[in-house]
């Protein structure tokens, strides 16, 4: 009798914990549509999405093994509502045929200020050779920083060998095989992040490219500046930083969204969103757009080497006037970020 009571108590406690994780999973789904301006709670919930899903999968296996099918169904439903996030991180399809005919290939990379090598020149040349090897038609660089020993005119001259047209301003640089008819640069209000919009013609049709670098989470800065402080202080600073920077990103994402909504021409957004596919940032920018990774990517979609290479924060997304036929990350290590490439065909 005692063992039965103990088993019943353990089952009740485990079910209670399961329901807590299920509720957390539901909140993490809601978080993608909830602006960080509504509170830091939603930022934390969106960041915990992969943790909740991972725990739910383990719990599902346990409850199926114990033949508690009602509980298993509840856990399954929690997982199912977050499948869009799962598919934005993992694609099981085989690698796309990169030899398919496309109208243009675009590559985006946060260069980390060309800090991979002691000399800017070596870093720039390494990036150029990688772009040339992958036959990029358009290259968007964020955190672009020129140096005295290698100024922008020399960098543009190097890229001009393959990509003769360019526009460089602030920490944004775009190099193109196609003539650039116009460009607009803007530094986001209240910060150091920015974006650049260019218009060009490909096969006689207008195309718009938006290269973006949104507000960082600030986690790296906290780790470096608060060493030796108590865990409580670090935690409080972390939450404050996530909330403040999340609000910046929310406003920045809506600004980019307005630009996208202002035109019906083929449009690509490429760059460093500094946020996960479970985030409000991703939700706002992807609305009425297609995530190239979900359309034509394969494998695990991580784009950031730190944090155990688990984060996807760099994206190439497009509107429905374009068809993404291949999408991948480059194998070369050119920065703390991975370069992301996508090939597109203009819709008929």
pLDDT tier at 233 (50, 70, 90 boundaries)? low
pTM of the model: 0.91
Rounded Cα distance between 288 and 231, Å, is 42
Q: What are the tens digits of pLDDT across the range 172-199?
A: 999 999 999 999 999 999 888 999 999 9
Q: Is the pLDDT of residue 254 over 50?
A: yes
pLDDT tier at 1 (50, 70, 90 boundaries)? very low
pLDDT of residue 139: 98
Reduced 3-state DSSP string for 18-86? HHHHHHHHHHHHHHCCCCHHHCHHHHHHHHCHHHHHHHHHHHHHHHHHCCCHHHHHHHHHHHHCCHHHH
- The tokens describing 201, both together, are 């013609």
pLDDT of residue 258: 96
Nearest-CA neighbor of 211 among 35, 104, 33, 340? Answer: 340
Q: Is the pLDDT of residue 283 over 70?
A: yes
Question: What mean pLDDT is predicted for residues 109-133?
Answer: 90
pLDDT of residue 219: 59
Question: What mean pLDDT is predicted for residues 199-225?
Answer: 83
Q: Is the pLDDT of residue 345 over 60?
A: yes
Phi/psi region, residue 135 (left: phi>0; alpha: psi -120 to 50; beta: rest), is left
Phi/psi region, residue 190 (left: phi>0; alpha: psi -120 to 50; beta: rest), is left
Q: Is the pLDDT of residue 77 over 90?
A: yes
Q: What are the tens digits of pLDDT across the range 135-162?
A: 999 999 999 998 888 899 999 999 999 9
- Percent of the chain exceeding pLDDT 90 equals 75
pLDDT tier at 108 (50, 70, 90 boundaries)? very high
Nearest-CA neighbor of 339 among 253, 290, 276, 271? Answer: 271
Question: What mean pLDDT is predicted for residues 224-229?
Answer: 56
CATH 3.10.310.10 assigned to 104-346: no
pLDDT tier at 118 (50, 70, 90 boundaries)? confident
Question: What mean pLDDT is predicted for residues 9-26?
Answer: 90
Give the long-range contacts of residues 220-223, CB within 8 A, separation 24 or more.
220/306
pLDDT tier at 4 (50, 70, 90 boundaries)? low
pLDDT of residue 158: 96
Q: Is the pLDDT of residue 2 over 50?
A: no
Q: Is the pLDDT of residue 337 over 70?
A: yes
């Amino acid at each position: 009798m005692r063992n039965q009571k103990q088993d019943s108590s353990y089952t009740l406690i485990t079910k209670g914990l399961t329901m807590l994780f299920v509720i957390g999973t539901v909140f993490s789904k809601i978080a993608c549509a909830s602006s960080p301006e509504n509170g830091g709670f939603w930022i934390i919930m969106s960041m915990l999405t992969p943790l909740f899903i991972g725990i739910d999968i383990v719990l599902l296996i346990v409850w199926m093994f114990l033949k508690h099918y009602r509980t298993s169904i509840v856990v399954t439903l929690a997982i199912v509502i977050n499948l869009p996030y799962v598919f934005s991180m993992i694609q099981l399809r085989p690698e796309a045929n990169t030899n398919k005919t496309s109208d243009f290939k675009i590559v985006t990379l946060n260069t980390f200020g060309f800090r991979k090598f002691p000399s800017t020149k070596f870093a720039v040349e390494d990036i150029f050779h990688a772009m040339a090897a992958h036959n990029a038609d358009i290259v968007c660089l964020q955190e672009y920083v020129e140096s005295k020993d290698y100024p922008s005119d020399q960098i543009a001259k190097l890229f001009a060998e393959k990509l003769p047209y360019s526009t460089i301003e602030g920490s944004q640089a775009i190099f193109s095989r196609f003539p650039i008819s116009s460009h607009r640069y803007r530094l986001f209000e209240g910060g150091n992040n920015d974006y650049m919009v260019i218009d060009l013609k490909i096969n006689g049709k207008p195309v718009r490219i938006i290269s973006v670098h949104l507000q960082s989470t600030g986690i790296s800065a906290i780790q470096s500046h608060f060493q030796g402080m108590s865990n409580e202080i670090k935690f409080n600073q972390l939450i404050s930083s996530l909330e403040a920077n999340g609000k910046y990103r929310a406003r920045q994402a809506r600004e980019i969204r307005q630009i996208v909504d202002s035109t019906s021409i083929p449009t690509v957004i490429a760059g460093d969103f500094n946020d996960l596919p479970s985030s409000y940032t991703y939700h706002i920018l992807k609305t009425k757009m297609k995530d190239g990774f979900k359309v034509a990517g394969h494998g695990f979609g991580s784009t950031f080497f730190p944090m155990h290479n688990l984060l996807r924060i760099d994206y190439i997304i497009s509107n429905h006037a374009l068809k993404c036929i291949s999408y991948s990350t480059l194998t070369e290590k050119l920065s703390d970020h991975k370069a992301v490439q996508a090939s597109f065909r203009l819709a008929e």
